Amino acid sequence: MSGERDEHDAPAADRGAADRGASREKRPLLERLGLALIALVIGGLFGGMALAALIGGELFLAVMAGVGCAMTLWLGGLTLVRG
């Protein structure tokens, strides 16, 4: 009861943040390619939805689906580059 805290007294969120920074490893190439392929398929679905909504005159839905497409493809690209 001296007022000192050790690593086991820290909240779980603090321990998790420290652990993530210490042991960061790159994903294997096959896993990165698989994740990027999944992102490409989902991005294509978002892009198709954006195109269909634009043709149908639903501008808000088209913009939202377009943003979803861009974000999904961006994240898929980051998965390949950063691992």
Whole-angstrom distance, CA of residue 66 vs CA of residue 62:
6
* Confidence (pLDDT) at 50: 97
* Confidence (pLDDT) at 63: 97
* Confidence (pLDDT) at 49: 97
- Residue ranges covered by each domain of the chain: 28-82
Helices 29-55, 59-82: crossing angle, 10 deg rounding = 170
* Confidence (pLDDT) at 27: 85
Helix (H) or strand (E) holding 62: helix 59-82
- Rounded to a whole number, what is the distance in angstroms from the first to the last CA of the chain? 44
> 51 CB contacts (<8 Å, ≥6 apart)?
62
* Confidence (pLDDT) at 80: 87
Q: How confident is the model at residue 6 (pLDDT cuts 50, 70, 90)?
A: low
pLDDT of 34-68, one tens digit each? Answer: 999 999 999 999 999 999 999 999 999 999 999 99
Type of residue numbered 24:
R
